[in-house]
Amino acid sequence: MRRSQETKKWLIAGGAVAAALIALGIYLYIERKAAPPPAAETAAETQPVEQQPQAHYPVPETTPAPEEAPLPALDDSDPAVLDELVRTLGDGAGEVLVPDSIVRRIVATVDGLSRPKLAVRMRPVVPVRGAFVVEERDGTTVLGEQNYARYAPLVQLVQAADTSQIVALYYRFYPRFQEAYEQLGYPDAYFNDRVVAAIDDVLATPDAQGPIQLTRPRVFYEFVDPDLESRSVGQKVLLRIGPENAAVIRQKLREIRREITSHVPQA
């Protein structure tokens, strides 16, 4: 891959806050067949009963404030979502976010973070500036530490964001996130469950010890360590942004996870 393409593949992190964000799986319809009825039962009683699976992490119902405008339709939601993200995350959000199909981009990115590949065309943030840097040390190619500074503006944006405000914004627009998730191909699953699973996957990223060795068998750079190379997109991103940046992202993801699951009764 050309370096610009390599950058796009690995540096989608940001989409990040808030995306932050991982292997509970997708739930299918649970079908319950009625037992063979006696002759006296009505036709309605003989029909199979389908039940919607329960969400593991249901989103609490929220009542819009009187001054809030009605939630826009999914296809018309970009201006409202972008305005609220800038209000919540700061002006820097407007500089890093791709301004169209915002909800769909976030949903597609969250869904793909725990998978081996992610659709670059659906990234929610613009590519990080600068070229992807590698170094040669003792005859081996390693990830250049100069790369870490390229993520600093995005990581600072995430770190400064108020977690409670992020979650409140997420809850407000959750019906649109759920709608986009269903359109993505999961009509019987819950996006919030997917968010939690995505976060859990990213938080399970191992700590890389020493310089990260890379190889370039074709056009893309790959990790030399087969264990690292087998990791999900989200975990590879966390490895590539450097330990200090990764620590900030981990902390914010923990905060978000705690807030979006705190209302769920414990077994």
The helix/strand/coil state of 103 is helix
Residue 45 has pLDDT above 80, yes or no: no
- The beta strand positions in 126-253, using DSSP E, are 134-137, 140-143, 213-215, 222-223
pLDDT of residue 231: 96
Quickly list DSSP for 197-222.
HHHHHHHTPPPPPSS-EEE-SSSS-E
pLDDT of residue 36: 39
> Looking at residues 92-97, what average pLDDT do you find?
89
Give the C-alpha separation, 228 to 17, whole Å: 23
Residue 118 has pLDDT above 60, yes or no: yes
> Looking at residues 227-248, what average pLDDT do you find?
95
Q: Cα 115–195–266 angle (5° rounding)?
A: 125
> Looking at residues 89-106, what average pLDDT do you find?
92
pLDDT of residue 24: 29
pLDDT tens-digit readout, 190-227: 999 999 999 999 999 999 888 999 999 988 899 999 99
Label residue 111 by pLDDT band (50, 70, 90). Answer: very high
Length of the chain as a residue count: 267
> Looking at residues 24-31, what average pLDDT do you find?
30
Assign 3-state DSSP to the chain and report helix, strand, coil percentages, each to 5. 45, 10, 45
pLDDT tens-digit readout, 147-157: 999 998 889 99
Distances (CA, A) of 142 to 116, 135, 204, 223: 21, 5, 23, 9
Counting beta carbons within 10 angstroms of the beta carbon of residue 53, is it exposed (0 to 12), middle (13 to 18) or buried (19 or more)?
middle
Residue 247 has pLDDT above 80, yes or no: yes
Give the C-alpha separation, 182 to 189, whole Å: 7
Residue 63 has pLDDT above 50, yes or no: yes
Q: Are 107 and 198 in contact (CB under 8 A)?
A: no
pLDDT tens-digit readout, 120-132: 889 999 888 888 8
pLDDT of residue 68: 78
